[in-house]
Amino acid sequence: MPIEKVCENCQQPFACFPSENRKYCGLACRSAHRFSKGIPSEGRTPVNFTCRECGKNFSMMKNFVAAYHKKYGRDPWYCSRQCSGVGRRKTSESGNTFVCLSCGKENPKRRKPGGRLYEQQKYCNHDCKVMSQSTKALERFERGEYGKHKKRNGYMWITIPVLGRTGRKHIMEHRYVMSKFLARDLLSEETVHHRDGNRSNNDLSNLELFNSNHGPGQRVVDKIAFIIEMAKTYPDFLRDAGYELRHINDDPREPA
């Protein structure tokens, strides 16, 4: 429990704890009382400083300053415990801030129910978090890093992130590839045809745009082109089956 004492220099009362064994109300009175006794020695030469909090000048003896440097590695910042407490609280609060990864604003860190700081805080609110996550997801999508799944009918579906929203947009991959090639959204009456009949082969060279429903199956010319390509790739298998690919201009019966 604090007790009341009288300062030996200014004769003003001050409060302190018994264990502190203080004789002066502050550093200024202690230094003034000691220096008034005579010419100070080299170690008792006063060194002047300016308080960071209140801006007042205060002094400490040179040997005290040397001890302070040895312990803390710097000059004293505050003139009293009151200024030290206020200044340290301000420093602590200024250090407990973060920069939002979405909007770039500096905000104080949120505290948990127990009073502890939420050290891992990255966003100032839920909207900023959603915007940042959807932006990153959209960037990954533009790089071609997106998931896709195959439906029972053979078509491939992909998921497109929506900027600023937690929801996503689902679209068939062949329509997305064609719309990206055309740099516009496809019209409702436009359809995309798979030339080789493989609905999971969504390479642009295998897709063809129709302005109406094209129906199931493949075009005959596409099937013939596929057969010729396979015959050129595997002529031995074709010969074993009793057939041979021959260009019409190679027929000797045809006129030159």
CATH number at residue 182: 3.90.75.20
Q: What's this model's pTM, rounded to 2 decimal places?
A: 0.41
Q: 187-206: buried (b, 16+ CB within 10 Å) or exposed (e) per residue?
A: eeebbbbbbebebeebeeeb
Confidence at residue 164, expressed as pLDDT on a 0 to 100 scale:
64
Domain of residue 25 covers: 1-38
Same domain, 162 and 132: no
| pLDDT band (50, 70, 90) for residue 255 | very low
Confidence at residue 232, expressed as pLDDT on a 0 to 100 scale:
84
* 246 belongs to a structural domain: yes
Same domain, 204 and 161: yes
Q: What is the pLDDT of residues 191-224, one digit of tens each?
A: 888 888 888 888 998 888 888 766 665 565 666 7
* 91 belongs to a structural domain: no
Same domain, 159 and 199: yes
Same domain, 241 and 251: yes
Confidence at residue 51, expressed as pLDDT on a 0 to 100 scale:
92
Average pLDDT over residues 185-191: 85
Same domain, 129 and 153: no
Same domain, 223 and 254: yes
Domain limit, last residue, from 110, 138, 166: 138
Same domain, 151 and 207: yes
Q: How far apart are CA 3 and CA 252, in angstroms?
A: 126
* 73 belongs to a structural domain: no
* 5 belongs to a structural domain: yes
* 62 belongs to a structural domain: no
Domain limit, last residue, from 117, 138, 159: 138
Same domain, 211 and 228: no
* 58 belongs to a structural domain: no
Same domain, 234 and 198: no
Same domain, 187 and 158: yes
Same domain, 206 and 161: yes
* 66 belongs to a structural domain: no
Average pLDDT over residues 39-63: 83
What's the token pair of residue 168? 């996503």
Q: What is the pLDDT of residues 71-116, one digit of tens each?
A: 989 999 999 989 998 888 777 766 678 888 888 888 878 777 877 7
* 213 belongs to a structural domain: yes
Our count of domains for the chain comes to 4
